[in-house]
Structure 1
Amino acid sequence: MTEYTVGGFGTVRLRPLDPERDADVVHSWVGEERAAFWGMTGLTRAQVAEVYAHMATLDTHHAHLAEKDGTPVALLQTYEPAADRVSECYDVRPGDIGIHVLLAPAGPEGPRSGWTDSLLSAFTEFALRTLDRDRVVVDPDVRNAKAIARFTRQGFTRGPAVLLPEIDLPDVQLPEKHAQLAFLTRAVAFPDADPR
C-alpha cells in the first residue's frame, strides 16, 4: 500500500486491486451509465472479477484501488504502453507509463469541489515519482469531454486523436476506440523538483 497526502484534501491510499474481494465495488461502478466509456457496463460481477483476475497475471498491466479514509474512491490502472494497443498509435518513449482512471460515483452529498483534481494529483505522484517514470499517457474516448477536461486541468498536453485497434484474443476482447491522447511529463507535473 502506498499513501499520498494531498494538501487540503487528506490522505489517499493506493493498494493492488483484489479481483475477488473488490469485485462488488468495482462492478457497482462500471455498471453505471456514467461509466459507459470504461466499456464494462454490461458485465456481471463474475465477469468483472475475471477481467481483473486476468490482469493480475500480467507483468505489464496493473489495477489499483484508491481509498480515502478507508472508503474506495477510484480505480487506477497502470500499463506499459509498449505492451498495449496504444503503442500502435504513437511513438512510445522509454520512461512512458499509461494510466486509466475511473472515479467512484459522488456520494449522497453530491459532487465535491476539488475532489477529482486531488485524486489525479496523487495518481500523478504515484505514476511519475513512485514508479519513477518520465511521462504519463492517457487515452480517454474522444467523446468523454469531462475526462479530457480533467486531464487538461491537471497539466496534460493533448496529443493526436487516434483510433485504438480492436483486440480479440482468448483472454482479452476490446472494441476499437476513438481516443484522445494526452501526455504529462515529470518536468511539467513537478516543475520545482530537482531534475533527474
Structure 2
Amino acid sequence: MSDRTTDTYQSRNAVHEQFLDGFGTVRVLPLDAAADAEVIHRWVSEERAAFWGMIGLSPGDVADIYAHMDTLDTHHGFLVLKDGEPAALFQTYEPAADRVSECYEVEPGDIGIHLLVARAGARGIRPGWTSELMTVLLTYVLRNLQRTRVVADPDVRNVKAVGRFLRQGFTLGPVVTLPEVDLPDVYLPEKEAQLAFLTRKEAFPS
C-alpha cells in the first residue's frame, strides 16, 4: 500500500478502534462508497465471495450499491483495517427492517451482520486470525452499540462462513428461505440461509 493510501485511511474517523495484544490494531471505518469501491470490488469479484452475488459487477456498480446503503438508517457498511491495511468488509443491519424478519421472531436489541474477510495475502494464513478480527467487531456491536444479540444469515451452502460463526460461539438456528427483494434500488434473489445467533452474555461472559 502506498503512503498516500495509508494517509487517506489514517485521516478518516473510525466508529471503533481496538488494540489486541499479539494481533494488532483494528479500526472500523464507515464505508466510503466512492473511495472504497475499488478494494471492495476486488474482494467481491473473487470466486470465494460468490455468495455475495456481486461477481460480474463493475466497480461503479459496487459503488452504487453502497452509496444507496449509505442513504439508509437501518443498514450500514464498514471497511475494517488491521494495522492500517484493508482486512474486511463488514455490514450491520436492523433485522426488523430486513427480509430476515419474515423468517424469525426479531427481539429488541438484535443486530444483523455480514462479514467478508480479505484474502490472507502477504500476511499468510494464521490460525485464529479471523476469530480475533471478529472479536473486535463483536465488541463494537455488542458493547459499543449496546446490542444484546447478533444475528447472522449466511447462505446455507457457505460452509466456511457457517463454520466460522460456530467457532466464534454462535448457536445455529433454523435454515430459512429469505424471500426475493425486487425494488428499484435493490434486488436480492431468494436465498436459503442458515440463521445463527450470539448473545452478549455468550460473547462476553465476564
TM-score normalised by the chain length of structure 2: 0.91
Give the Cα separation in 1 of the matches to 2:52 and 2:124.
Answer: 21
Matches within 5 A, 1:76-155: 76-155=90-169
Matched residue count: 192
**2:38 equivalent in structure 1:** 24
1:52 aligns with 2:66: yes
For residues 80-99 of structure 1, give each alpha carbon's deviation from its aligned partner in whole angstroms, at most 9, with x where no partner exists: 00000000000000000000
Give the Cα separation in 2 of the matches to 1:38 and 1:82.
Answer: 21
Matches within 5 A, 1:70-81: 70-81=84-95
Larger helix share, 1 or 2: 2
User: How high is the sequence identity, in percent, across the aligned residues?
Assistant: 66
Q: Which amino acid aligns with 2:152?
A: V
CA RMSD of superposed structures (Å): 0.8
Pick the aligned partner of 1:163 from 177, 181, 191: 177
1:9 aligns with 2:46: no
Q: Which amino acid aligns with 2:181?
A: I
SS for the counterpart of 1:123 is helix
Give the Cα separation in 2 of the matches to 1:155 and 1:111.
Answer: 21
Displacement, 1:112? 2.0
Segments ≥4 residues shifted beyond 6 Å = none
Pick the aligned partner of 1:174 from 188, 197, 204: 188
* Structure 2 unaligned residues grouped into runs of 5+: 1-13
Of 113-122 and 175-184, the range deviating more from structure 2: 113-122
**Contact 1:6-1:121 at 8 Å conserved across structures:** no
Displacement, 1:109? 4.7
SS for the counterpart of 1:76 is strand
Of 66-75 and 2-11, the range deviating more from structure 2: 2-11
SS for the counterpart of 1:108 is helix
**1:69 equivalent in structure 2:** 83
Give the Cα separation in 2 of the matches to 1:186 and 1:85.
Answer: 23
TM-score normalised by the chain length of structure 1: 0.96
**1:183 equivalent in structure 2:** 197
Q: Which amino acid aligns with 1:146?
A: K
Q: Which amino acid aligns with 2:94?
A: E
Q: Which amino acid aligns with 2:147?
A: R
**Contact 1:167-1:176 at 8 Å conserved across structures:** yes
Q: Which amino acid aligns with 1:152?
A: L
For residues 25-71 of structure 1, give each alpha carbon's deviation from its aligned partner in whole angstroms, at most 9, with x where no partner exists: 00000000000011111211000000000000000000011001110
Inter-CA distance 27–14: structure 2 relative to 1 (3 Å threshold): same
* Structure 1 unaligned residues grouped into runs of 5+: none
**Contact 1:89-1:164 at 8 Å conserved across structures:** yes
